[in-house]
Amino acid sequence: MNFFKKKKVVTTIAVLAAFFAFISFNPKAHAAKGDYGVDTSIYQGYSGKFGYAKDRFGIAQIGGINNGYVYGQNTYQSQVQQGRAWGKRMHTYIWFQVGGSQYNANVAMNYFLPKVKTPKGSIVALDYEAGASGDINANTNAILTGMRRVKAAGYTPMYYSDKPFTLAHVDYKRILKEFPNSLWMAAYPDYNVRSTPYWGVFPSLDGIAIYQFTSTYVYGGLDGDVDLTGITDNGYTKNTNPSVKPSTPVQKHVVNSKFKVGQTVRVKKTARYWATGEAIPSSIRGKSYKIIQSGNKRSLLGGVMSWIDDSNIEKVSNKPTAKPKYKTYKVKYGDTLSGIAYKYNTTTYTLQSLNNIANVNWISVGQVLKVSKATPTSHVYHTVKYGESWWSIANSNGMTMYQLASKNGKTVNTMIYPGQRLVVK
């Protein structure tokens, strides 16, 4: 989840190797069991985003309810459409900050259920990770109200959260009694880039059908999920959704492509349709991509994860590339995007645009960023210590806390933490 999202590092007991082997390698597993996927919101833009060629499903945020205020996300419909054009099984989730109010739960359902664009039978998950009331029974009743409405509308209800928040605020066993294997739970060992789960922090509860194992599935940030039960097949069976096209074109005869895996090609500006029949967005035409699979006179393009006919792509010129226009900077522990921008006499927005960063918080240690050509300015930094605040740091450096926060591209309501580096001069 990416909107109003609180990411948590959760440590629990290690998962037995036998359990891991069962969920990953059981030869009788459902077709989707063990599949990887992502969940997206407004931060992934109108086309959405996938991390790897192995991804088979996506769960897009339709909007949410926050303290009684209902809002939609205008990226939802196009993310669903684009994901399905890429051959992914697309599902839906709702930010569900209803506390213990069944009234607000029904308000959210009345607004969102008619707007769901994923197939009947597909997942509609309720993201309940904030805003709980002090009454566990009321919270659980509100969640069950929403899940019952989802089921009655013909979709598969799921509950999303993390283990500590759930144990503190929700009777999850009541949820499982009525909706077995309906939990979608998050637990991250760290914020390093992870393309596969680290099972040592698996949130050991009954009924978990999807495990969200990282918020840094790729550099720049993206939630990574794994289907443990095959639940992401719901809504995409042969009988319930015959219109969904496969992610790989059907090949009656294998014919070699004239392009090779690893080669960079450009989508022709005259190209109009992917090999699977969907329209190619204008933003794709004229752009270059690396081939990650090829065959049968068509290639799978990395980044957009779509198959395209050989006739619609061309080789990229091998002429020497011009020298980079920008210097680079390697992100260090405690760095912020606003701090780096300040160091290089540029703006946070400029760095976001140069590096295609959707969210200013999505940088990671070791990541190499393009920065301004200007020579870095000399600044004085302060490393935050335990117990310090905006006020105490600002006071010791002869400024107001508002000036300090502004100098670092933040507000006084932004949380600071030990080890973080702040510009003080």
Q: Among this protein's residues, is 129 annotated catalytic?
A: yes
Verify that 21 and 138 share a domain, yes or no: yes
Q: Is pLDDT of 174 > 90?
A: yes
Catalytic residue among 39, 162, 233, 335: 39
pLDDT of residue 354: 80
Verify that 347 and 271 share a domain, yes or no: no
Verify that 417 and 299 share a domain, yes or no: no
Span 252-269, average pLDDT? 76
pLDDT of residue 308: 86
Span 83-92, average pLDDT? 92
Residue 321 lies inside a defined structural domain of this protein: no
Span 241-248, average pLDDT? 35
Q: Among this protein's residues, is 35 annotated catalytic?
A: no
Catalytic residue among 35, 55, 127, 227: 127
Residue 78 lies inside a defined structural domain of this protein: yes
Verify that 169 and 292 share a domain, yes or no: no
For the domain that residue 32 is a member of, what is the CATH number? 3.20.20.80
pLDDT of residue 276: 63
Number of compact structural domains in the chain: 3
* pLDDT band, residue 322 (cuts 50/70/90): low
Print the SS3 string covering the chain.
Answer: CCCCCCCCECCCCCCCHHHHHHHHHCCCCCCCCCCEEEEECHHHCCCCCCCCCCEEEEEEEEEEEECCEEEECCCHHHHHHHHHHCCCEEEEEEEEECCCCHHHHHHHHHHHHHHCCCCCCCEEEEECCCCCCCCHHHHHHHHHHHHHHHHHCCCEEEEEEEHHHHHHHCCHHHHHHHCCCCEEEECECCCCCCCCCCHHHCCCCCCEEEEEEECECCCCCEEEEEECCCHHHCCCCCCCCCCCCCCCCCCCCCCCCCCCCCCEEEECCCCCECCCCCECCCCCCCCEEEEEEEECCEEEECCCCEEEEHHHEEECCCCCCCCCCCEEEECCCCCCHHHHHHHCCCCHHHHHHHHCCCCCCCCCCCCEEEECCCCCCCCCEEECCCCCCHHHHHHHCCCCHHHHHHHCCCCCCCCCCCCCEEECC
In this structure, of 133-147, 167-181, 199-213, 344-358, the range with the lowest mean pLDDT score is: 344-358
Verify that 91 and 153 share a domain, yes or no: yes
pLDDT of residue 90: 96
In this structure, of 15-24, 156-165, 307-316, the range with the lowest mean pLDDT score is: 15-24
Q: Among this protein's residues, is 171 annotated catalytic?
A: no
Catalytic residue among 55, 129, 233, 335: 129
* pLDDT tens figures, 95-108: 999 999 999 999 99
Residue 242 lies inside a defined structural domain of this protein: no
* pLDDT tens figures, 115-166: 999 999 999 999 999 899 999 999 999 999 999 999 999 999 999 999 999 9
